[in-house]
Every structure is written in C-alpha cells, then in structure tokens.
Amino acid sequence: MTTALIAEDEPLLAAALASALGRAWPGLALLPAVGDGRAALDLALAAKPDACFLDIRMPGMDGLEAARAMAEDWPEGAPFPLLVFVTAHDEFALRAFEAQAVDYLLKPVQPARLAACIARLQRRLAERADPAAALAQAVARLGALSLPAPAAEPLVVIRAQLGEAVHLVPVEEVIYFDAADKYLRVVTASREFLIRLSLRELLPRLDPARFWQIHRGTVVQASHIALARRDETGRVTLTLRGRAETLTASRLHAHLFRGM
C-alpha cells in the first residue's frame, strides 16, 4: 500500500488536503498529519512513507529544511520519498523543483491540479529505480538548498555568559559551533561556551567562505580542518587543528571535501 505524510501548520488546510487526497487517491494510506518540519522529519524517518506533502513555510524547521534533513539522515537502501511542496507563494515553485520535488501545489489546492500531481506521483512510483541511486540524487539536489536568509550584520565577537561574567570570544577563535537543544556550543581551542542562539539565527551572520556547515547542527571554521576521510556511506570524518575530537560531515555536505 502506498503511504504519504502531510506536513502543514494550518490544521484546516491539512484536513482539506487529506480529504482531497482520500477522494482522488482511494488506495493511499495517510500517516497522521504533522504541523512543523521537525515533526515531519521524525515521522518520515520512522515510517518511511512513499510520498511527502510538505508545506514550505512552517514554524521552526521549514519544509525545505525538513527535506534536506531527511536526505541527510535517510537510511541506505530505503527508497527516498517522493516530495511534493505545498505553498501559498508561487515564487517558491522553482525552488521546489530544485529541491528534488516531483511537483508543487499552490494553496488552496485545486482538484484538477491535485489529480495531475497524483498521476505524476503514481508514474514515478511505478518507475522507481534503485533506492541508493534515488537517495544519492536527492542528496545532491538538496545539499545547497534553503530559503533565503534575511541580511544580518556580520558577527565579530560572541558574548557568552558564564555565571556573572560575560566572555567576549572573537569569532576567528571559534573552531566550531554545535547545536545542543536550545543552545549552541561555541568551541575554541581551549574553552567551550553555551549561547542562547539558534544555528538558523547564527548562519546569516557568519562568512560562508570561512565557516562551513557540515551537518544540519554543526558549523566549522574551514581553516581548523586538518584532514577529511570519507567512508563507504558518503559521510566524512574530520580531524581538527586544536581539538582532539573528530566531527562528522553528512552526505549532504560531503561535496565540500572533494580534492581540488
């Protein structure tokens, strides 16, 4: 049986899409609808649906970020879901197709348009190729994709509070940032600090030529990477200058470590 996931932060719109899919595709089994990208990611990884209908604009992790995270964590050998992005803004249509989408739907979804989308999904499911090749293609297409971030003032010094003291940490001294619950770990050669800032808020304020995102929760200063080793799954292990631990770059970001 074909299964699908709906991620939509407006419950009425999610219910309307589920009802329309039920009428137009009687053989489709729908998973419980979720209202944000993080929940969509967790449910997709657990249930491995054949298709995902992802709203682009959702609180927290958006639909494009959820799709990237799925490709990053998707298990080897399992067919990657066919992606349909749902949006109220047609300017996201091109970005949807860049994101390995089979189709995109504009809200409110029209019956004729949904029928065409279902036909496309059914053709793709019937023609499904090697799961490993499909996952590799999704990783390649989703790797550099995200919604445009608003312009932000470059970050020069990080103000990290520790007890009653506020430490001023120059950005050039940071080896890497790592997401930890609601905090970010700021790791230098000699110290670690926690700051109340999300990676999503931090990234627009960092120089992308110097700070590379290697995982959805980790950003490392490239000049502190000494060695990169790739394993058979495509993940890359990084040896750092100034720190004993290693970091792992996901398949989505492994292209950063190809030889020149």
Give per-residue pLDDT as tens, 183-240: 899 999 999 999 998 888 898 999 999 999 998 899 999 999 999 998 877 779 999 9
Q: Which two tokens stand for residue 205?
A: 């304020």
pLDDT reading at 169 higher than 90: yes
Q: Which residues touch 65 (CB under 8 Å, ≥6 apart)?
A: 37, 146, 147, 216
**Residue matched to tokens 């312009």:** 151
Q: What pLDDT digit, counting tens, does each position of 46-77 carry?
A: 999 999 999 988 988 888 889 888 988 888 78
**pLDDT for position 233:** 72
Tell how strand 157-162 and strand 165-170 pair up. antiparallel
Work out the average pLDDT over 34-52.
96
In CATH, the number for domain 2-142 is: 3.40.50.2300
- In the chain, which ranges are continuous DSSP H helix? 11-24, 37-47, 63-73, 93-98, 111-126, 131-142, 199-202
Q: Which of 91, 128, 121 is nearest to 106 (CA)?
A: 91
The pLDDT, as a whole number, for residue 68 is 85
Give the pLDDT score at 130.
60
Q: Got the DSSP string for 210-254? A: TEEEEETTEEEEGGGEEEEEE-TTS-EEEEESS-SSEEEE-GGGG
The sign one gets for the Cα dihedral 110, 112, 116, 119 is positive
Name the burial class of residue 188, with classes exposed (0-12), middle (13-18) and buried (19+) by CB atoms within 10 angstroms of its CB.
buried
First to last CA, the chain: 46
Greatest mean pLDDT among 21-30, 73-82, 124-133 lies in 21-30
Q: Which residues make up the CATH 3.40.50.2300 domain(s) of the chain?
A: 2-142
Q: How many CA atoms lie within 13 A of 230 on its CB side?
A: 12
Q: Residues 104-159: pLDDT tens digits?
A: 898 899 999 999 999 999 999 988 766 665 665 665 556 545 555 555 688 999 99
Positions of CATH 2.40.50.1020 in the chain: 157-257
Alpha helices in 127-235 (DSSP H): 131-142, 199-202
Task: Look up residue 195 and give its amino acid.
Answer: I
pLDDT category at 162 given cuts 50, 70, 90 is confident
What CATH superfamily is the domain 157-257? LytTr DNA-binding domain (2.40.50.1020)
Q: What would the pLDDT profile of 86-104 be if each residue is shown by its tens digit? A: 988 766 555 555 556 788 8
pLDDT of 247 above 80: yes
Other beta carbons within 10 Å of 27: 7
